[in-house]
Amino acid sequence: MMTTVLFQRARVIDPRNGVDGVRDVLVTDGRVAQVSDAALPAPQDARVVDATGKWLVPGFIDLHVHLREPGEEGKETVLTGCRAAVAGGFTGVVAMPNTKVVNDSALVTELVLSRARDAALCHVYPAGAITKGLKGEELSEAGELIGAGCVALTDDGRPVMNAALMRRVLQYATQFDVPVMVHEEDLTLSAGGAMHEGATSTRLGLRGIPASAEVAMVARDLVLLEETKGRLHVAHVSCEGSVRLIREAKKRGLSVTCEVAPHHFILDDRAVGDYDTHAKMAPPLRGDVDVKALREALVDGTVDAIATDHAPHGVSDKLVEFEKGINGIVGLETALGLTLVLVHEGVLTPRRAVELLSDGPARVFGLPGGHLAPGAPADITLVSPSEEWTVDAHRFYSRSRNTPFHGRTLKGRVSQTWVGGRCVFEDGQLKESR
């Protein structure tokens, strides 16, 4: 049930509308009604939230989440993924298609959307597969997928190695004005690799994955993009060379966007330590030069969004030899705290951090939300920026626990999450209507 809510004395950070200051915010009928620098009277029967000392920001949107349903419900479901999302301040997530029943048909898209409606927690936007079965051989029916509700096309988890096929999907997607999201990895360069190629891989005796495995594919797809005039979104950028190419392409006016995951701008390949599979992911954690380049790109606008690449896995997937460990970590419930590491270090301003988590993602995929102008959906995240907490993977709302950040102390935490004017998470507890 929608209620009238008055947030009082919050620091409102709304990058799209140039707001950063103490404001009162009134929400009615699931939408932002008023943002005022003067105190607003509380309407009769309104819930009043004293937000003194807190940030009131547009609800976060994650462009890159693996919900594992259908097919691997033991790792995550749409419901448990949505629980983790709102606990992390995310009011919307884009669900990747590389489920065990691949989302390459309207039927699977509709299943994901049905599960999201049943969960009734946050918005779920499915992404459809570029190729049937993610095999990289035959294009999926893009029109059918988009008609069913997909907001992007991607074979995430696998690169499209066939350049001619990649060129065709960029051309085809222009008819629907949706981005083609790419996992950039030249499999001939990464084959057999377990982590970033560098001093740490040499010390551990592990075969490395060179940065060129990513950079070469970014270069190829930018050439194809320039020729086709499509829309390209580069997922989980990890290398200095990729950043440089994307920056130059943007200056030339190409329609390219990109995202960076928190683990790539917080950790480098040394986090692998002595074969810690919780630090094993694709693309791998890179060198300190790459981390520095990613941070610079977050500041200068080359990067459009912070996305988690939330990838749940079971205990047995990680408690194996490093080379056999499955790539990926969960990220929805740690994303804010890790992003705020850069704020507390003076790398990012609060406004830029909020933009990368909300307005940026909304713009990239053309999604609702991302701002707080009157009439906007009341998708709101309330942040306690100075609250310290220790990551405890055993208390995650996600069904999986695979994170290298367990035991790490972070500063800055979600206080409340509101979706469509309804409080779905407050002070560490879910507020489900199921």
Q: Which CATH number do you get for residue 169?
A: 3.20.20.140
117 is in an annotated binding site: no
Closest CA to 199 of 208, 190, 191: 208
The whole domain housing 155 covers: 57-365
Sign of CA dihedral 140, 141, 146, 148: negative
Please tell me the distance from the alpha carbon of residue 70 to that of residue 89, in angstroms, as a whole number. 24
Number of domains in the chain: 1
Do the Cβ atoms of 96 and 69 come closer than 8 Å? no
From the list 304, 309, 317, 379, the catalytic residue is 309
Whether 19 maps to a domain, the answer reads: no
Q: State yes or no: 67 annotated in a binding site.
A: yes
Asked if residue 153 is part of any domain, the answer here is yes
Verify whether residue 309 is a known catalytic residue: yes
- What tokens does 302 get? 């080359």
252 contact partners, CB below 8 Å, separation of at least 6: 226
Is residue 68 annotated as involved in ligand binding? Answer: yes
| Residue 397 falls inside a structural domain | no
Would 217 be classed as within a structural domain? yes
29: in domain = no
pLDDT in tens, the chain (434 residues): 568 999 999 999 999 999 999 999 999 999 999 999 999 999 999 999 999 999 999 999 999 999 999 999 999 999 999 999 999 999 999 999 999 999 999 999 999 999 999 999 999 999 999 999 999 999 999 999 999 999 999 999 999 999 999 999 999 999 999 999 999 999 999 999 999 999 999 999 999 999 999 999 999 999 999 999 999 999 999 999 999 999 999 999 999 999 999 999 999 999 999 999 999 999 999 999 999 999 999 999 999 999 999 999 999 999 999 999 999 999 999 999 999 999 999 999 999 999 999 999 999 999 999 999 999 999 999 999 999 999 999 999 999 999 999 999 999 999 999 999 999 999 999 998 65
User: Structure tokens of 410?
Assistant: 């972070």
Q: Is position 264 annotated in a ligand binding site? A: no
Q: Is 64 annotated as a binding residue?
A: yes
> Which amino acid does the sequence have at 408?
R
Tell me, yes or no, whether 418 lies in a domain: no
Structure token digits, residue 48? 């009043």
From 122, 135, 168, 129, select the one nearest 152 (Cα to Cα): 129
pTM over 0.95: yes
User: Residue 374: CA atoms inside 13 Å, Cβ hemisphere, count?
Assistant: 6
Q: At what angle do helices 163-173 and 212-228 cross, to 10 degrees?
A: 50
**Is residue 150 one of the residues assigned to a domain?**
yes
Residue 327 lies inside a defined structural domain of this protein: yes
Contacts of 261 (CB under 8 A, 6+ apart): 64, 236, 306, 307, 308, 309, 331
